[in-house]
Amino acid sequence: MALVETRPVNRIKQNLWDKSYIPEIVRGLAITTRHFFRNMNPDKSQRSTFTREYPEVPTVYPERYRGLHRLMLRADGQVRCVACMCCSTICPADCIHIEAAEHDDPAIEKYPRVFVIDELRCIVCGLCVEACPCDAIRMDGGVHIPPYTERGAAFFDRDLLMERGGLSLAVQGGESK
Amino acid sequence: MPKVTVNGTEIEVDKGTTILRAAAEAGFEVPHFCYHPALSIPANCRMCLVEVEGAWKLQPACYSQVTDGMVINTKSERVVKAQKAVLEFILVNHPVDCPICDQAGECKLQDYYVAYDSQESRLRAEKVHKVKVFPIGPEVLYDGERCILCTRCVRFCEEITATNELTIVQRGDRAEIRAFPGRELDNKYSVCTADICPVGALTARDFRFKCRVWLLNSTDSVCTGCSNGCNIHLEHFRNEIQRYRPRFNPAVNDYWMCDAGRLTYKEVHTDRLLHPTNNGAELNWHAVCETVADKLKRAIDEVGSDKIALVLSPQASCEDLHLARKFASDVIKTSRFYMGGKRDGDSDDFLIKADKNPNRRGIEAVFGSTTAALPFSQLVDDIEAGTVQVVYMMDQYMPVDAATAARFVERLDKLKLFVFQAQHQGALAQKAHIALPVCSHAESEGTFVNFEGIAQGFERAFAAHGESLPHWQIFMRLAQAMGKPFSYTFIQQIRKEMFAPRPDSVASGTAEGVPVE
Ligand code: SF4
Ligand code: SF4
Ligand code: SF4
Ligand code: SF4
Ligand code: FES
């Protein structure tokens, strides 16, 4: 049997002054009051508050933060995604729905006629981004997934996802060189 | 018999065996593109090079035959180097389109690259561009950039269909596959070229962009397109068939199947009857069986059993038919059978048979003779003459011309009772007093007997659509409702009773060993 490791704790003996509580309460209130007035200082740099005035002052997320998805664009504004289904295959939450279709341009061939992500079901793992061979899907916008009041609002379709998309530096097949 | 040593394993093989086959028997894979067991051996891709002790050059394993005492090495340094070189050469102008390529996931080039190459591309020059999405035939699309010029497709059209549509045009890095001038790849087996194309150069139009192959589930089944009963991989995703792919069976269809048969899966998902109905009102199974039992009993009392006709379907499995026979003889006590099923169609001297029903020989096997059932046209006459007043029909097919079929539909109004037990909606379902939904061969298991008398089992792929049930289960429920229950619990019990020798022995006793495709 494994031995239980114990550690003796040196308890501080309370004296009468401590035990009567009153002076300590007064001391505590004094600290709180001091902080209160310090944080009322019109000069914000003098305040010591940690509270962020969200949403008036937005949070700046770290660079690798995984936020809301976006679909990247080709130079001509078309969707980069070629509906290869790598993202929907790897997605552990099974929340990406893609329907592929034939593109008019034979150099592109395949594109997603339907692309819907259920952001509420998404577990924000980022595997879809890793899986994408075309740099077509990203979660790097620095925008977190908003709260929804309605279930349907969590279904982000292709156009909505493209609205937050941008250009990619990666070269893509089928692009005129 | 020659004794050879492959990578240190000594085996004895038949005289004339190629190194590739001998290695496969010894348990070693030799990668290959152009070799296909059903086609001639051009040895043009050079993927299969192996080292033979004593020979100063590497040998193509697909072509070279073994000799006694041969010592073969499929993994030596020289072989590995050659494999890398061949793959690098093939990939020089390959577009690596995998994200949009339907072959991805079942592509030999992908698999071999991962298994034998996996080095980064050293190529910095622009790749040669060729045709893409080229409609080489009505059912098949060609992508020149992906083509590795193995000529499997060309040889298929020369040797299997003997239609000779395809050839290679141009030379060197501009070479491409094309149909001869004025022709296209339109033989009745054209999609087989997409199956045997080791890469995504030939792809089936019907399957195009429908589903990624790694998402498919595959179930062993039998094509219901005609009485040849080609063995298939029924491939499905989320309760829907995505495609049929031929399954190797040298006794029936070898590696092939026809284009028309491939598309028969569409029937499974169109216009299905989903709920049992009584005069158009949906009922549950329990209630509808009570109703049918009640109506049948009354009909028997009123018109007598011999005025009740049972239309047999050669589309149904032997198990279904066996219970149909039992239901007729033990429960309604009629022996008035008529033959349903599809009308005859085109045929050729390869796989396609004129009889478009997969199980006509099954009716023979179950009922003991071909004359057990009267022709369908007779039924129309008998209804008119009043000798038939109740019709119990399996499946909606009518093996008669359109005029007779229309006459039949019209005469249905004269009937006391019309029970319709089928997969599909339509005029008959509308006329039916009782319509009972039946599930397709993809949703049930069973046995078909093909035109040669080979019994072949098929497996259940996914759950039944709606509330449909297999024919045999419906007969069981009805027999129960009519107070004469059958005592089966499993389909195997029906099988045992149906044929003296078990069908499985013929069904799965197909290929010897594993085919090297
Ligand atoms: S982040 Fe993860 S759960 Fe969300 S869509 Fe991507 S793969 Fe699916
Ligand atoms: S992995 Fe990328 S290219 Fe493929 S379907 Fe997803 S977003 Fe589109
Ligand atoms: S043929 Fe194979 S390697 Fe070439 S693009 Fe298609 S899947 Fe990729
Ligand atoms: S189309 Fe396919 S089968 Fe035909 S030569 Fe090219 S790679 Fe081979
Ligand atoms: S050369 Fe042997 S398989 Fe192609």
Q: Which residues contact B125 (CB under 8 A, 6 or more apart)?
A: none
The residues that bridge with B457 in the sheet, in sequence order, are: B447
Q: Which residues pair with A98 in a beta bridge?
A: A115
Residue B179: CB atoms within 10 A of its CB come to 18
Q: B135: CA distance to ligand 2 center in Å?
A: 26
Distance CA A130, CA B94 (A): 24
- Give domain limits for chain B: 3-92, 124-269, 277-498
* Contact indicator for B85, B71 with CB cutoff of 8 Å: no
Helix axes B285-303, B471-481, angle to 10 degrees: 70
For B212, other C-beta atoms within 10 Å of its C-beta total 21
Query: Whose atoms come closest to the Cα of B200: which ligand?
Result: 3
**Paired tokens of B137:** 């035939």
Pocket perturbation via mutation, ligand 4, pick of B36, B47, B109, B150 by most ligand atoms within 8 A of CB: B150
Per-residue pLDDT reduced to its tens digit, A33-44: 999 999 888 887
Residue of B nearest to A99 (CA): B210
B131-185 pLDDT tens trace: 999 999 999 999 999 999 999 999 999 999 999 999 999 999 999 999 999 999 9
Q: Is B108 in the pocket of ligand 3 (CB under 6 A)?
A: no
Q: Could you tell me where the DSSP H helices lie in A55-131?
A: 86-90, 127-131
Asked if the domains at B3-92 and B277-498 fall in one CATH topology, the answer is no
Residue B394 in this model has a pLDDT that exceeds 90: yes
Chain-centre distance for alpha carbon A36: 32
Distance B171 CA to ligand 4 centre (A): 15
> Cβ–Cβ of B97/A173 closer than 8 Å?
yes
Residue B372, C-beta contacts closer than 8 angstroms, at least 6 positions apart: B337, B363, B364
Quick one: closest CA in B to A131, which residue?
Answer: B99
Burial-class residue A16 by CB neighbours within 10 Å (0-12, 13-18, 19+): exposed
Residue A53: per-residue pLDDT: 79
> Is the Cβ atom of B60 under 6 angstroms away from ligand 5?
yes
Predicted confidence (pLDDT) per residue in B182-213, tens digit:
999 999 999 999 999 999 999 999 999 999 99
Using the Cβ of B3 and the Cβ atoms of chain A, whether some distance falls under 8 Å is answered with no
Q: How many CB pairs under 8 A join A and B?
A: 38
Tens digit of each residue's pLDDT (9 = 90 or more) over B92-134: 999 999 999 999 999 999 999 999 999 999 988 899 999 999 9
* Cα B456 to Cα B220: distance, rounded to the nearest angstrom: 10
Q: Which class in CATH covers the domain with range B124-269? A: alpha beta
User: Taking the domain B277-498, which CATH number applies?
Assistant: 3.40.50.740
Indicate which atom in ligand 3 lies nearest the CA of residue B105. 7
Is ligand 2 within 6 A of the CB of residue A139?
Answer: no
One-letter amino acid at A140 equals D
pLDDT (tens digit, 9 = 90+) per residue, A7-46?
888 888 888 888 899 999 999 999 999 999 998 888 878 8
User: How far apart are alpha carbons B248 and B37 in whole angstroms?
Assistant: 11
- The confidence score (pLDDT) of residue A118 equals 96
Partners of residue A83 in chain B, C-beta under 8 Å: 100, 209
- Please choose, from the candidates A167, A158, A175, A171, the residue with its C-alpha nearest in 3D space to the C-alpha of residue A101: A158
Residue B232: band (very low, low, confident or very high) from pLDDT cuts 50, 70, 90: very high
B215, A89: Cβ pair inside 8 Å?
yes
Residue B448 predicted with pLDDT over 60: yes
pLDDT of residue A177: 44
Separation in Å, CA of A105 to nearest CA in chain B: 10
CB-nearest to A110 from B95, B100, B215 is: B100
Is the C-beta atom of B194 inside 6 A of ligand 3? no
- What's the one-letter identity of residue A121? R
Q: Which residues pair with B278 in a beta bridge?
A: B281, B434
Chain B residues in contact with A176 (beta carbon < 8 A)? none
Q: Which residue has the CA at smallest separation from atom 2 of ligand 4?
A: B197
Min distance B91 CA to chain A CA atoms (Å):
15
Q: In a 3-state reduction of DSSP, which class is residue B82? A: helix
Nearest to A109 among B104, B133, B212 (CB): B133
Q: Is the pLDDT of residue B421 over 60?
A: yes
pLDDT given at position B296: 94
Q: Is the CB of B35 under 6 A from ligand 5?
A: yes
Chain B residues within 8 A of A173 when measuring between CB atoms: 95-97, 99-100
**Structure-token pair, residue B33:** 């593109």
Nearest to A82 among B100, B208, B214 (CB): B100
Q: Specify the CATH number of the domain B3-92.
A: 3.10.20.740
Are B312 and B370 contacting, i.e. CB atoms less than 8 angstroms apart?
no
Residue B23: helix, strand or coil by DSSP? helix
C-alpha dihedral sign at B496, B499, B500, B503: negative
Find the A74 Cα to ligand 2 centroid distance in Å: 13
Judged by DSSP in three states, A45 sits in helix
Residue identifier of the C-alpha nearest atom 4 of ligand 4: B153
Pairing of strands B231-237, B217-222: antiparallel
Interface of B with A in 210-239 (CB under 8 A): 210, 212, 214-215
Q: What is the pLDDT of residue A175?
A: 56
Residues 6+ apart with CB under 8 A from B381: none
Nearest-Cα distance to chain A for B209, in Å, is 6
**Could you tell me what percent of chain B has a pLDDT over 70?**
96
pLDDT higher than threshold 60 for residue B503: no
What do you get for the CA distance between the two ends of chain A, in Å?
Answer: 70
Does residue B153 contact residue B220 with C-beta atoms inside 8 Å? no
B255 pLDDT more than 50: yes
CB contact under 8 A, B209 and A100: yes
Three-class SS of B284-329: CHHHHHHHHHHHHHHHHHHHCHHHEEEEECCCCCHHHHHHHHHHHH
Please give the distance, rounded to the nearest whole angstrom, from the Cα atom of residue A95 to the centre of ligand 1. 7
Whether residue A137 contacts residue A66, with contact meaning beta carbons closer than 8 Å, is answered with no
Report CB contact under 8 Å: A106, B133.
yes
Ligand 3 atom closest to the Cα of residue B94 is 4
Please state the atom number of ligand 2 nearest to the C-alpha of residue A88: 6
Distances (CA, A) of B458 to A128, B267, B443: 38, 17, 10
B99 and A86 within 8 Å at the Cβ level: the answer is yes
Q: B residues 428-447 near A, CB within 8 Å?
A: none
Kindly state the average pLDDT of the residues B375-381: 93
**Amino acid B486: pLDDT:** 92
Amino acid making up residue A33: T
Q: Do the beta carbons of residue B248 and residue B511 sit within 8 Å?
A: yes
**Residue B236 tokens, joined:** 């499905």
Per-residue pLDDT at A62 exceeds 60: yes
Q: What is the mean pLDDT of the segment spanning B493-501?
A: 77
The alpha-carbon gap from A125 to the nearest alpha carbon of chain B, in Å, equals 21
What is the reported pLDDT for A50?
73
- Given A89, A134, A173, which is nearest B95 (Cβ)? A173
Q: What is the radius of gyration, based on Cα positions, of chain B?
A: 28
Question: What residues of A are in contact with residue B208 (Cβ under 8 Å)?
Answer: 102
- HSE at residue B130, side-chain half, CA atoms within 13 A, is 24
Q: Mean pLDDT for chain B?
A: 93
**Cα torsion through B322, B328, B333, B338, rounded to 10:** -120
Residue whose CA is at the smallest distance from ligand 2 atom 8: A81
Nearest CA to CA, how far is A100 from chain B (Å)? 6
B417 forms beta bridges with B390
Return the pLDDT at A93.
96
B128 close contact with A: CB closer than 8 A: no
Determine the pLDDT at residue A46.
Answer: 84
For the Cβ of B257 lying below 6 angstroms from any atom of ligand 5, the answer is no
| Burial status of residue A142 (CB atoms within 10 A of its CB: 0-12, 13-18, 19 or more) | middle
Of all protein residues, whose CA lies closest to atom 3 belonging to ligand 4?
Answer: B197
Closest residue by CA, ligand 5 atom 1: B43
Q: What is the pLDDT of residue B502?
A: 39
